[in-house]
Amino acid sequence: MAEIKINARGLQCPGPIVQLFKEAKTCACGDILCIEVTDHGFKKDIASWCKKTNNILLSLDEENGVVKARIKKA
């Protein structure tokens, strides 16, 4: 299982969620997506995205203003 790192820091409109959609489309089930963003609104978005896509949110942390999420592709 691959671990894919996405640097979505600095992205605003349309935001890091678009980046995540792209990567999630190409990766395989069980892969882990690690995304880092500076858009704080992403915290809410990622929870909603995982719920709607059935992907699994493994962790969601914030460190020094950077939001880090780990998602397992379902």
Alpha helices in 1-74 (DSSP H): 16-26, 42-53
14 interacts with another protein by CB under 8 A = yes
* Residue reference for tokens 């809410």: 44
CB 19 within 8 A of CB 6: yes
DSSP run (H or E) holding 34? strand 32-37
17 interacts with another protein by CB under 8 A = yes
56 interacts with another protein by CB under 8 A = no
Binders of another protein: how many residues, by CB under 8 A?
A: 22
49 interacts with another protein by CB under 8 A = yes
Point out which residues bind another protein (CB under 8 A). 9-10, 12-15, 17-18, 20-21, 38-41, 44-45, 48-49, 52, 64-66
